[in-house]
Amino acid sequence: MRLNLSPMTVATLLALALLGGCASLGGPAAGDGTPAATAVVPATLAAPAVSGGAALPGDGAALDWRPLVRDDRLVRLIDQALVNNRDLRLATLAIDAARAQYRITDANRLPTVNASVAGSASRSAADLSGGTASTSRQVSVSLGMAAWELDLWGRLASLKDSALSTYLATGQTRASVQASLVTEVAQAWLTLAADRQRELLARQTLETRQRSLELTQRRQALGVATALDLASAQASAETARGDLASAAAQVVQDHNALRLLLGAEPDAALLPGADGREADQAATLLTVPADLPSSVLLRRPDVRSAELTLQAARADVEAARAALFPTLTLTASAGTASNALTGLFAAGNGIWSLAPTLKLPILDGGASRSALEIARIGEQQQRATYDKAIQTAFREVADALAVRASLAERLDAQQRLVDAYARSLELVTRRQQAGAESTLAVLDAQRSLYSAQQALITLRLTEQANRLTLFKVLGGT
């Protein structure tokens, strides 16, 4: 059915379209009603005053990883990982897909106009046209607008807001992946450095215990050492030999883990220990104020992603609510037609049509209201997810700060313990050489020193890992 409307009617409908594009159902704007961080966690974190390196940025800015990492070899490896890592590449592709989906959703708010050129010819038989065969031809050129929905209730605008929030949330997910990647590469590099130190320590210990074994063998030949002394020395040497083999295997595994994160074979010159440089201070310490506000959690990409996803769910509710109201669509075309190509643009050959359609939802078995209920439940789920994200962030930051509070004291104590065991071994060795101490006492002192040195390496790695953890949990990217 074709409806012929006057120019005044057409102008009225266009005015309604413009007004409809600005209309909304009065729902909450994007960002309204999002719970504050202090609504689900305490206003401040119990943070020890920590200073000495990269400072936390203000105004919710992201924490950059470059000021944190001060070993140029590690910086170059992280840059390589950011280019080659497959997980980060997938996250980037997800952003591209979300951006394209947002553009599609935004385009649905605008009319779709198509140009068409058509021609037809038909011949009628003589028996059907008064005894004379006839041929008719028609040529037309037109522009058409197909089923443009006037956004009277803001449904399309809400869908656009949802797609935009989803797109932005995807970007925050990529930032979270990047922060994890930076932390994992640095952690893998530091672990490799620590395990190389363990390997070196095991090799030095094996050499020392091998010399002790040879000395014990000579002392037994002279009747000074007992068979028990010799057996203990042999056991001690073989233990060190096993530790060396285990440490060497662990170094290979660390290398493989780093290769996977980088997406390529790491340059040997960039690995710890390649040029004799120590790697136990690769990460500088963050400057953390004593009273750390919980609002700092909002800089975290995972929290931002949860917040944006909540905004998308809220927009979905508005779109579902708008779907309960009537929809008005316009289908229109304008052009020219003639029975001959030469007369196509002659005066009086213009054609046009306008077909508005008003769709009134009357009975759909409750599908529309069920869709609205589903959207509301989805919003509640995302609100719970947002609350959980903040609570998880608070716990992670609090745990990292709690560990940080004791690490300096533990490191000092462990270093003093190593020094004490080293002095003890020196004294016991002198007493053994003077014949005043047994071989077993020397072996026991060696084992104590070896264990303390291993613990010191582990504690140094823990301290560096804590710096990286603070970077990540405080919203580093």
The CATH class for the domain spanning 7-121+135-473 reads mainly alpha
Q: Give mean pLDDT, residues 156-180.
A: 88
Average pLDDT, the chain: 80
pLDDT at 15 over 60: no
Quote the pTM value: 0.74
pLDDT at position 55 is 57
pLDDT digit string, tens, across residues 343-381: 556 666 677 777 788 888 888 888 889 999 999 999 999
How far, in Å, CA of 100 to CA of 111, rounded?
18
- pLDDT band at residue 203 using 50, 70 and 90 as cut-offs: very high
Q: Give mean pLDDT, residues 313-326.
A: 90
**What percent of the chain is predicted at pLDDT more than 70?**
78
pLDDT at 5 over 90: no
Q: Give mean pLDDT, residues 103-127.
A: 76
Long-range contact set of residues 39-44: C-beta below 8 Å, sequence gap at least 24: 39/387, 40/387, 40/390, 40/391, 41/294, 41/297, 41/390, 41/391, 41/394, 42/294, 42/394, 43/293, 43/294, 44/291, 44/292, 44/293, 44/294
**What one-character-per-residue DSSP string does 227-288 give?**
HHHHHHHHHHHHHHHHHHHHHHHHHHHHHHHHHHHHTSPPPGGGSTTTTS---TT-BPPPBB
- pLDDT band at residue 35 using 50, 70 and 90 as cut-offs: low
More confident residue, 73 or 53: 73
pLDDT at position 201 is 93
- pLDDT band at residue 136 using 50, 70 and 90 as cut-offs: confident
pLDDT at 282 over 70: no
pLDDT at position 26 is 43
pLDDT at 72 over 60: yes
